[in-house]
Homo-oligomer: A and B are copies of this chain.
Amino acid sequence: MTQGRDLARPRATIVDVAQAAGVSRQTVSNVLNNPERVASPTLARVRQEIERLGFTPNAAAQQLRRHLARAYGFEVNPSAARRMGHIVDGFLVELTVAAPGYNSHLVTFASEAENPITGYERLLGTGLVDGFVITDTLREDPRPRWLVDNEVPFVSFGRMWDSPELGRWVDVDGRAGMEMAVRHLLAMGYERVAYLGWESGSPLGDDRRRGWLAALAEAGLAEEPLAGYTRDELMDATRAANGLLDRLAPLDGTAALLCASDMLALGAMRSLRGRGLEAGRDVGLVGFDDSTVAEALRLTSLRQPLHEAAHHAWRILHQAGSDSSLSALLSPSLIIRSSSSFEAA
């Protein structure tokens, strides 16, 4: 179908370097992979020729010989892609930036809708990748089981709630984040903290909710916790926030609303504006994910430590075995903006 073109000029090979330096190919290989085996004058000479010729080892040849691609598959999800500030995009970027430090690469791929394994099978079959980074593991998910059964290394971004022992993961501690947020709100002078979350069933949401409750209990405010639940959609969130704010009155700077996501917080913000109220001054407001919208709206929010998470994920992938002790639960950081601190406006 497509003609392979040979436009690119031939690159220097290990043999070219060897001839130029007057040594054998294996010596050049040793210079790169086992420099301690090479006498130092030779080492210097070979390195100079490598530099001069701009030699870089051919990845395909290395893969073939080593049975190791030093590449990992990263699944992109067409439906999730349209979600607001989908956090996975940021994680992909951080993984990519960190990749050279683990001399690895990422290969993106997508599975067919009807069978979530197809993409994994295809990519693995070609030997193009050594393993996978998986995300969006909230639902009942056949992927961890399949990967384990096929002895494929992988790391999950997000706990595997229904089967934590099945593999290793990196996740962000939503519960701790929520506790942090409640403490912050109380410290800023808000006296009552309501919660706006997702309809139950999402382990992620339940975890965040628990953080809110725990922090309330810690402060001795757990008598009649006020909460509302809705879908992660703006209009629904606005409606739910409206109802919740009614029950939260008086809205005179003594009450705050803690939201399970920036989307929910955005709904709350709209609800506030509709009443002529201002986030921060009249009602404290905190979101989750620190999306660009949160920054734009000066919304206090919990930021996920994606940089750290990416490095952790790489470390897990490069560590053989499957003991789950390497899994990491990282703490988000609270980015304080005017929606929860009136003075700072």
1/0 per residue, CB under 8 A from B, across A87-119: the answer is 001101110110110100111111000000000
Q: Does A250 make an interface contact (CB < 8 A)?
A: no
Closest to A307 in B: B78
* CB–CB A3/B127 < 8 A: no
Would you give the shortest CB distance from A104 to chain B, in whole angstroms? 9
Minimum Cβ distance to chain B for residue A289 (Å)? 12
The reply to whether A106 and B105 contact each other, CB–CB distance below 8 Å, is: no
**Which chain B positions have C-beta within 8 A of A90?**
81-82
- Count this chain's copies in the assembly: 2
Kindly identify which residue among B2, B6, B99, B110 contacts A96, using a CB–CB cutoff of 8 Å. Answer: B110
Indicate whether A297 reaches chain B with its CB closer than 8 angstroms.
Answer: yes
> Does A59 have its Cβ within 8 Å of any Cβ on chain B?
yes
A96–B122 touching, CB < 8 Å:
no
The answer on a CB contact under 8 Å between B66 and A64 is no
A205 interface residue (CB < 8 Å to B): no
Binds B, one of A7-15, A134-142, A188-196: A7-15
Asked if A320 is at the interface of the complex by the 8 Å CB criterion, the answer is: yes
Q: Which of A39-47, A50-58, A168-176, A251-259 contacts B (4 or more CB under 8 A)?
A: A50-58
CB atoms of A2 and B102 under 8 A apart: yes
Contacts of A78 in B (CB 8 A): 93-94, 97
Known: A107-B105, A109-B105. A58 touches B126 (CB 8 A): yes
A60 to B70, CA, bound (A): 12
Q: Which residues of B have CB within 8 Å of A126? A: 56-59
Q: Is the CB of B63 within 8 A of A234?
A: no
A64-B64, A74-B108, A93-B110 known; 20 new pairs, CB 8 Å cut-off, are A4-B67, A4-B68, A7-B151, A7-B152, A8-B150, A54-B125, A56-B125, A60-B69, A60-B127, A61-B64, A76-B92, A76-B93, A78-B94, A81-B90, A85-B85, A106-B107, A107-B107, A107-B108, A108-B108, A234-B297
